[in-house]
Chain A
């Protein structure tokens, strides 16, 4: 299909254009307007033809516009008008309308003319203002977050000093009493002191756990393309102590990959695997599996053991900080491990859940969005 520039086609194009088209001569007199111009400015074209272009310019800018026009006609270029300024046109009823204007020269046999394309910028302006507001809000939120973060930093710093000092005194003087005043203290007395020591050491572990947890929230995430199999393997190797490794059967699906932070994922596997080892240690044939499967089109990683398991009725308590589903007599621990895993997975935008059966083992599933 070939377009011929017949007058009727040219006219059709002009009238069909979605923006206002105004052609003025070298003296700024309107020579031609299209239908959209009439619509934008509220004039019938007969009212505009032969008029100076300034009829469409707001009062305050009329004078300056004449100068601008003269400058332009002397050295015309195709360019947007008034770059960086908010321009307004004036409608017939005197109301102002925000516009975007672009100009280009037109050489005709009657002389040099200027074509201007006028676009209604109302919507554009509204969107711009909305974006500016959102940006300001975002900057404010960022600022508040930075402040709160730095407050958290100093809080953690104080905790690591201030809370540990009294604990050391508790532990130290209890031991000093046991050692230096043996003859004066009977067995019960020494037992009481041993319990005091154990408590202060336990509290120290709790503080360490809390600090670890808060560090994960504060730490910067450096995501990279990771070999998950290698990370799980390395974690398992460092955890498995000589005696247990021999009895324990482990399987890790090869070539698993994910987009995640290396240190934090190491932490995830350290915690999940140390739990798996711990809770299946009493088993005759402990088995630990690390793998990946697709559930509903989603990639899901899992760590599975055949150990003590847990009661599914209490599944929602699993991931709370210091929450435990077993007594300290059965299995030692502070209950912070899973809270740490939860927080890491959360920071990656993933989900963590578990399934278990008392006496048959547990499986911990998690997702890592790409």
Chain B
């Protein structure tokens, strides 16, 4: 498992978490995937605070998959925060959400999301989306490192 190039998945729904992880596995994505289940936990992980205080902070994720509807801190708030801190503001963020409301789409891009993907109900379609996301953002795209 690639423990250096980690992917951060921010997802509160345990079913969606399981299905997303399964999709990554089925597509042979070797990167370690860290799952945080609410907005605050995501920030705690990124900035190595509270429960994640012992984390090696130099390991910044190469990709963040962010759901919008999260308990505690919402996805858009997390995004706003990430983009306002120097050490995280360039990390590619892919919004992965059920919403197809225009307001969410526009706000996400306004706040600096790199991509907006709508979770389809059809799971095979979802698998296809995950495959394409991992292919592009993990294999093709160059993360903004060093």
Report which A residues bind B (CB closer than 8 A).
157, 160-161, 164-169, 171-176, 197, 200-201, 204
Interface pair A167/B121, CB less than 8 Å apart: yes
Interface pair B99/A171, CB less than 8 Å apart: no
For this complex, 5 residue pairs linking A to B, each with C-beta atoms less than 8 Å apart, are A160-B101, A164-B98, A169-B13, A169-B19, A175-B124
Question: Once the chains are docked, how many angstroms separate the CA of A197 from the CA of B121?
Answer: 10
| Number of interface residues, chain B, beta carbon within 8 A | 18
Residue of B nearest to A175 (CB): B123
Residues of A within 8 A of B100 (CB): 160
Interface pair B19/A160, CB less than 8 Å apart: no
Interface pair A169/B15, CB less than 8 Å apart: yes
| Contacts A161-B99, A172-B15, A173-B19 known; 19 new A-B pairs at CB < 8 A | A157-B101, A160-B98, A161-B97, A164-B98, A164-B121, A165-B13, A165-B15, A168-B15, A168-B19, A169-B16, A169-B19, A171-B121, A174-B123, A175-B124, A176-B19, A176-B22, A197-B123, A200-B121, A204-B122
**Across the A-B interface, how many residue pairs have beta carbons closer than 8 Å?**
53
Residues of B within 8 A of A197 (CB): 123
Question: Once the chains are docked, how many angstroms separate the CA of A200 from the CA of B123?
Answer: 10
By DSSP majority rule, is chain A's interface helix, strand, loop, or mixed?
A: helix
Residues of A within 8 A of B121 (CB): 164, 167-168, 171, 200-201, 204
A171/B123 contact (C-beta < 8 A), A165-B13, A176-B19, A176-B22 known: yes
Instruction: Give the one of A161, A197, A204 with max B CB within 10 A.
Output: A161
Q: How does the 8 Å CB contact mask read for B103-146 relative to A, with 1 for contact and 0 for none?
A: 00000000000000001111110100000000000000000000
Question: Once the chains are docked, how many angstroms separate the CA of A164 from the CA of B120?
Answer: 9
Question: Once the chains are docked, how many angstroms separate the CA of A327 from the CA of B69?
Answer: 38
CB distance from A210 to the nearest CB of B (A): 13
Question: Once the chains are docked, how many angstroms separate the CA of A256 from the CA of B7?
Answer: 56
Question: Once the chains are docked, how many angstroms separate the CA of A197 from the CA of B22?
Answer: 18
Q: How does the 8 Å CB contact mask read for B63-107 relative to A, with 1 for contact and 0 for none?
A: 000000100000000000000000000000000011111000000
A171/B98 contact (C-beta < 8 A), A165-B13, A176-B19 known: no
Question: Once the chains are docked, how many angstroms separate the CA of A172 from the CA of B119?
Answer: 11
Instruction: Give the one of A171, A172, A173, A174 with max B CB within 10 A.
Output: A172
Top 9 nearest A-B pairs (CB, nearest first) are A169-B15, A204-B121, A172-B123, A172-B19, A175-B123, A171-B123, A164-B98, A167-B121, A161-B98
Residues of A within 8 A of B122 (CB): 171, 201, 204
Residues of B within 8 A of A172 (CB): 15, 19, 123, 126
Residues of A within 8 A of B19 (CB): 168-169, 172-173, 176
Question: Once the chains are docked, how many angstroms separate the CA of A201 from the CA of B121?
Answer: 7
Q: How does the 8 Å CB contact mask read for B13-24 relative to A, with 1 for contact and 0 for none?
A: 101100100100
